[in-house]
Structure 1
Amino acid sequence: MKADPAVQRRLLDLAEVDAELSRAQHRRRTMPELAEITEAEKAVQTRRDAQVAIQTQLDDLDREVARQEKEIDAVRAREERDRALLAGGTVGAKQLTDLEHELATLERRQGVLEDDLLELMERREAVEMDGKHAGVELARAEEKLADGVRRRDENLTDIGTIEARRAEDRTKVLSGMPADLLAVYERRRTQKGIGAALLRARRCGACRIELDSREISRIREAPADDVIECEECGAILVRTPESGL
């Protein structure tokens, strides 16, 4: 393949643009914020799940407290009724004995229920404290996630700006580029990552391998408009006074 030496040198500009675009794409894929966000999202979900579990415990305890209070109210109402009967003086001796026995039983029952209620309230208070701590931990996790998202978005904006500018540069470099030369360049870039590189001091700028004397002789003898490719990596080798030929 033939191409004007000046056109071949433009491949170096194209390769530089593509290298920066590749770096931007690599940075987009591998920015540390992506891993941070993934971990932060897991942490947030874990703490949200913990909050849900704590709220479920609180709801269960609230229902148990309400049931206990209702039962205490029923015992108190029964006790008040019995005491009213006693105070009325209208009951016989046997009923009086039964009422006194029942009052003693109700008093013991109320004591047990109130002790149980106190224990429930203490448990609820402990769970509520856990809920407050879980809320603080969730807020911290959400703050860390928001920070990671903010930094990721800033990086993406920066990367997008670089890509847009270099895409414009690429369009300018491609203007007037021979289609057959460009096709070879794109094929090599797809296969090896670098389509063209400077031959500097007898070393390929793509694979960094120093060419042997036989290859250097071949390149030296080739016409200036010949398109030369590296035997090792296939990249188009652009010759300049720096090539050491």
Structure 2
Amino acid sequence: MKAAPQAQQRLIDLQELDSSLDRLAHRRRTLPELAEVARLEERLTELRDAIVAAETAVGDLEREQKKAEQDVDQVRTRAERDQRRLDSGMVTAARDLTNLQSEIASLQRRQSDLEEVVLEIMERREEADAQVARLRSEQATAQQELEALAARRDTGFQKIDEEAGTTSAARTAVAKDVPADLLALYEKLRGQHGGVGAAVLHRGSCQGCRLTLNTADLNRIRAAADDEVVRCEECRRILVRTAESGL
């Protein structure tokens, strides 16, 4: 492949701009805020699930408490009815009086047991309500942190995107100075070699793979015409010759 020395020199300018764009893209992908945003989003998802579970538990306890209170009311009503019968003097037979008094005592014990159940459920419900409140507080704090982090992330994105836009415009201008066939080869090699398609030959060393060329390769390059596009025999990148190439 042939290309004017000036066009080959422009490859180095193009490579520097492309490397800058690669670094900017890497910075964009690895902003510290991205990991924190992902962590908080995951935590918020966990909190939402935990809140649903806690609120479901509160709802279950509300129904359980309501049922227990209804049981207390039923026993209390029956005991009050029996007490009224006892107090009315309508029951006079000794055996009936004994049975009625025994039933009232039994109902009172039953009522006491059921009231203990209600109190125990109320305590559990208070704990469940407190858990919901704690989770909602943590959720609010995490949401505020997420919004602040997202704002910093977006600011970082904006700065990087602005710099990338300026660099891309400069790249477009430089690429116009490179012949189409040379540009195509450069792009192909960039894709094959980690983003570096062209490198300077500096004092006998390829600055792409950082290896020193052997004497035979240097002699071959030394004998090549100025407009010949030469390649590194080690990494196959385009080698751009300069006054510092050591030829």
TM-score between the two structures when normalised by the length of structure 2: 0.88
Aligned partner of 1:153 in structure 2 is: 154
**Equivalent pair of 2:72/2:115 in contact (CA under 8 Å):** yes
DSSP 3-state at the match of 1:199: strand
After TM superposition, the structure 1 = structure 2 runs for residues 67-78 of structure 1, keeping only pairs within 5 Å, are 67-78=67-78
Shift of 1:70: 0.9
The 1-side partners of 2:206 and 2:149 are apart by 41
Aligned partner of 1:203 in structure 2 is: 205
The amino acid that maps onto 2:213 is L
DSSP 3-state at the match of 1:194: coil
**Equivalent pair of 2:8/2:178 in contact (CA under 8 Å):** no
Q: Give the unaligned 5+ runs of structure 2.
A: none
Deviates more, 1:137-146 or 1:48-57: 137-146
After TM superposition, the structure 1 = structure 2 runs for residues 55-204 of structure 1, keeping only pairs within 5 Å, are 55-93=55-93, 94-192=95-193, 193-204=195-206
Q: Give the unaligned 5+ runs of structure 1.
A: none
Superposition RMSD in Å: 2.1
Shift of 1:65: 0.8
**Equivalent pair of 2:10/2:177 in contact (CA under 8 Å):** no
Is 1:31 matched with 2:28?
no
Percent of aligned pairs with the same amino acid = 46
Shift of 1:114: 1.0
> Number of aligned pairs?
245
1:216 to 218, 226, 237: 218
The 2-side partners of 1:185 and 1:163 are apart by 20
DSSP 3-state at the match of 1:238: strand
Give CA-to-partner distance per residue, 1:113-145, whole Å, 9 cap, x none. 111111111222222223333233333443444
Shift of 1:163: 2.3
The amino acid that maps onto 1:116 is V
Shift of 1:147: 4.1
The 1-side partners of 2:212 and 2:155 are apart by 41
The 2-side partners of 1:37 and 1:56 are apart by 28
The 2-side partners of 1:184 and 1:108 are apart by 95
